[in-house]
Structure 1
Amino acid sequence: MNTMSDRRIDFLEPALLETRRKLRSVAIEFLALTGLLVSVVLAVMIDVKVLKNSASESSLTEMLHALLALGSALIYILRAIREDEARGYLIGLATLFTCMFIRENDAHLDQVYHGFWVVPVGVALLSGAVVMSWNKATFAEPLACQFAERYSTFVFMGLLIVLVFSRLFGTGALWQAAMGAEYNPTFKTVVQEGLELLGYALIFFGSVLSLKYSRFKRRHPEENPTIGISASI
């Protein structure tokens, strides 16, 4: 009787350990996301209450926009170097975030002449398009596969917040109607820039998570990477 119980314990123990590991990884990810959201609010608050430059192009919020976009671009460049089976798709993402990084620095580039940011963006787009054309066989299928992966949800939601929601929710017409005679364009700017920072933070979080995914996939190609990403955190 004791032998059967021992065997059952031996059988269940790996499963219990795996469950605990997954729960631990979920808890870590939850805490990391919570910290990320708190950091976004803190950055905006520092601009508004401490630095008094919430509407400035040199604000902490704007600087974080650029840094997070650059960090995301570098992550996908690194992955493109390592993962030739998805290089076309990864170069596409790297190009997109590089262009977003350049656009976030338009105020500095305007010192050359107004609208000069279009030139480096054009160079980045052309360079990315050329490299993607060399790797066009590794674009469509990896793109379709990424929609099924959990980390890509953060990236795509972040993109939608930056490119769509922040623009719509931060439009002056909305806040003029809501605030009436008390309308202050600085308020609208704080809302819009704060939402953009949230979007960039989610993009960067998903990009970092994708490194865990790709590392797990290389180590355990026979296992489901969707499950493995959480287990590898």
Structure 2
Amino acid sequence: METFVRLTLLSLMVPFTVITDLVILGNRLGERSVTEWAQALVLLVTAILCGDAARHEPSARGGYTLMAGFFACAFCRELDLVFDKLIFHGSWRLFAGVALAATLALTWRYRATTLPGLAAFLDRRAYPYFLIGLLIVIVLSRSLGSGRMLWNILGCDDTHRLFKTIIQESLESFGYLLITYGAFLLRREQDATRHA
């Protein structure tokens, strides 16, 4: 029951941010929306939690470092507009490149624990949340939100574009929240194991 309540509350964050953007702020879920900032925040939290998991579990350090780096790169990509405005267009790639280089260097340093760490993660309670979250973000949000076939069938007027954006951003947000929930579960499980 506790998991159901937590997931329900997390799920309600998605319509809350979308409604805040559309109704209260009157924006159309652009790059400067509450929804986009919330997505960036949960990606950052996920990267930090995975990095912390690497610190707390030396036998899986390489695997969790790789995961932390992946979400750090996704965080940089989510903030592309900020980097475009502050530095230059496409500068998010520099930050993602630095995160990638650091991730690869650390993963190489802990290479003996990379594959075993990822394999051990498959047995964790957190794994299904990561898996389902990634499937929602990579498959559903892209195919239903970015995919042209569906929207060409429906027509491409302004209303359809808004629906497309709402669907894509809502699915991304939900997927990211599931992944972050999985990261919290991972850290919680590690702490419980350590204190047992």
TM-score of Structure 1 vs Structure 2, range by shorter chain: over 0.9
- Of residues 16, 22, 34, the one that matches 1:48 is 22
* Residue correspondences, number: 194
Specify the alignment match of 1:204 in structure 2: 180
**TM-score (normalizing by structure 1):** 0.79
CA RMSD between the two structures:
1.6
1:88 pairs with one of 62, 69, 87: 62
1:136 — aligned with what?
A: 111
Displacement of 1:163 in angstroms is: 2.0
CA contact (8 A) 2:134 2:175 kept: yes
Map of 2:151 onto structure 1: 175
Cα deviation for residue 181 of structure 1 reads 5.9
Are the structure 2 counterparts of residues 105 and 180 from structure 1 closer, same or farther at C-alpha, using a change threshold of 3 Å? closer
**CA-CA distance at 1:48 after TM superposition:** 1.3
User: What's the counterpart of residue 190 of structure 2?
Assistant: 214
CA, structure 1 residues 183+174, in 2 after alignment: closer, same or farther (shift >3 Å)? farther
Q: Which is higher, the Rg of structure 1 or of structure 2?
A: 1
In the TM superposition, what is the alpha-carbon distance from 1:180 to its structure 2 partner?
6.5
After TM superposition, the structure 1 = structure 2 runs for residues 23-62 of structure 1, keeping only pairs within 5 Å, are: 27-62=1-36
Q: Is the 8 A contact 1:175 1:183 kept in 2?
A: no
Structure 1 gap segments, 5+ residues each = 1-26, 221-233
Q: CA–CA distance in 2 between the matches of 1:51 and 1:183?
A: 18
Residue identity matched to 1:174:
L
Matched, 1:69 2:43: yes
Structure 2 length-normalised TM: 0.93
After the TM superposition, which parts of structure 1 deviate over 3 Å for at least 4 consecutive aligned residues? 179-183
Residue from 75, 98, 118 that aligns with 2:93: 118
Matched, 1:78 2:13: no
